[in-house]
Structure formats: C-alpha cells, structure tokens
Copies of this chain bind each other. A is one copy, B any other.
Amino acid sequence: MRKISDSTVRRLALYLRFLEQSAAQNLATISSAELAQRGGTTSAQVRKDLSFFGSFGKRGLGYSVPELSARIREILGLKRTHRVVLVGAGKMGGALLHYRGFRQHGFDVVAVYDKDPKKIGTRSNGLMVRDVRQLEADLRKEPTDIAILVTPAEAAQEVTDRLIRAGVKAILNFAPVPLAVPSDVAVQSVNMALELETLSYALANR
C-alpha cells in the first residue's frame, strides 16, 4: 500500500470517530459531505482520502458506516488492542492515566513508571507506580509497542533511548523537547505551549 501522509492519517482517525458515533445512532450510511464537516475538510478531500483504499462510496448513497469503519480501523492498525507504558507519574502523567479516551480507542495503559521514590509504590487509576529502573526487565517479560513519555525535559532523551533499546517502536512525547530516534521508531509530540503559539499567530494576523 502507498504510504499515506500524516495529515491524511489524522483525517482518517477523525472520520472514524464520526463513523463510530453514527454507528451508535444506528445510521447505515454517511455522505462525504458529513465526513468532510467532521474532518474539517471538503467532500472532494474525503473522496480523495478514501480513494487511496479502493472503492467504498456508492454515488447518491454515501458510504456504508460498518464497512468504512472496519476498513479505516484496519488501515490504522486498530483491529487489535495496543499495550502502552507510561513514563512519568507527575500531574500530567496522572491526568493521562485517568484519560478514558485511550482505553475507549483500544490503547491499554498497562504500566506506569517514575524515578521518584515518593511516587514509586503509590497507586494511580488502578496501577501501581513502578520504579523506572524496572523498565527494561518489565518490557523483556511484557513486550510493548507504544510508550507515553511525560518526563521532564532533562530526562526525556535518556528514557527514550532506554525505551527503544527495550523494543518500543512508537512514542507519544509530552516532554517539551524533540527526541532523537532511529528511523524505524515513530514519535508524535504534544507540545501545549506550541499550540498556544499557533493561536497567538492567528490572533496577531486576523
């Protein structure tokens, strides 16, 4: 299959959200216009996005909700549950542990780590905070593809290197620094201040 762009992947994930809601409302079909509105794009873009993956829509009838949902889940690798480890049990890490959206969408946070002795052994959302020194041993026993990194900036690269040596292939990075990773490891960074800066630009250039 052709490699699709990051922005297309994001739109597919948005379409999927809307398809899931439509399924919950027992809707059988959905139009490209409805998907476009939800994905913040145009009907033409929706048709283009979906045409990558073969023919779905029937002219005048729209897309079959169950069929398109299943296909997008397959494309995004969401037909299985993903195990996730979280490193950094501070306020943001704790908030992410309680974030229900992860499990709802098939991401199961199975372990949380910190290096602070005051945090290790405490419980958060049903998980006991483990000593980050156990990371490699744990991941050997329980291989995990995805890590959520919520450490301070100073610790981020070292923890990243350890995660990668232990076999992690994808990192969701909340630390406010860019991470150096090999080309076979995927990183998505969430940088809250940067999001505000793009809003500041929008305010300054209205």
Contact = CB atoms under 8 A, between A and B. Distances in A.
Interface in A1-48: 1, 3-4, 6, 9-10, 12-14, 16-17, 38, 40
A96 to B, nearest CB: 7
Contacts of A92: 95-96, 98-99
A176 interface: yes
A171 B198 CA distance: 11
Interface residues on A, range: 35 or more
B146 A84 contact: no
A206 interface: yes
A203 B107 contact: no
B91 A94 contact: yes
A188 to B, nearest CB: 5
Interface string A87-121: 00011101110110110111100000000000000
Interface stretch (A59-67, A75-83, A128-136, A155-163): A75-83
A28 B4 CA distance: 40
A201 B200 CA distance: 31
Interface string A157-195: 000000000000111100010100000101010111111
A3 to B, nearest CB: 7
A114 to B, nearest CB: 15
Query: 5 tightest A-B contacts by CB?
Result: A77-B204, A186-B202, A95-B95, A101-B193, A170-B199
